Amino acid sequence: MADVVILGAGMMGSAFSFPLVDAGHAVRLVGTHLDREWIQSVRETGIHPKLKMKLPGTVAPFTHDQLGEALSPSPDLIVLGVNSAGVDWAVQQLGPLLKGPTPILMLTKGLRARENTLQILPVIVRDGLASHGVKNVPVGGVAGPCIAGELAARRDSSVVITYADAKLLDRILGLVAAPYYHARPSTDIVGVEVCAGFKNLYALAVGYPAGLLAKQGEAPDRPRAHNLAAALFAQALGEIRYVVGFLGGKLASVDGLPGTGDLYVTCQGGRNVRIGYLLGTGLRFSQARTEYGSTETIEGAQFALAVGPTMEGLFEQGRLKRQALPLAGAILDAICHDVPLQIPWTAFHREANA
Q: With bands split at pLDDT 50, 70 and 90, how would you rate the model's confidence at 353? A: very low
* 110 or 200, which is more confident: 200
What is the residue type of 232?
L
pLDDT at site 223: 57
Mean pLDDT of the chain: 93
The yes-or-no verdict on residue 311 having pLDDT over 90 is yes
What's the average model confidence in pLDDT over 113-142? 94
Superfamily of domain 190-352: N-(1-d-carboxylethyl)-l-norvaline Dehydrogenase; domain 2 (1.10.1040.10)
What's the average model confidence in pLDDT over 30-40? 95
Pure H helices in the chain: 11-15, 17-22, 36-45, 67-70, 87-94, 121-130, 148-152, 166-175, 189-216, 226-247, 252-255, 262-266, 271-280, 285-292, 299-317, 326-336, 345-352
Report the predicted TM-score, pTM, of the whole model to 2 decimal places: 0.92
For residue 63, what are the contacts with CB-CB under 8 A and spacing of at least 6? 30, 31, 35, 36, 39
Q: With bands split at pLDDT 50, 70 and 90, how would you rate the model's confidence at 294? A: confident
- Looking at CATH, the fold of the domain delimited by 3-187 is given as Rossmann fold (3.40.50)
Provide the residue ranges of all domains of the chain, joining segments of one domain with +: 3-187, 190-352
Residues forming a β-bridge with 6: 29, 79
Q: 2: burial class by Cβ within 10 Å (0-12, 13-18, 19+)?
A: middle
Cβ pair 210, 54 in contact under 8 A: no
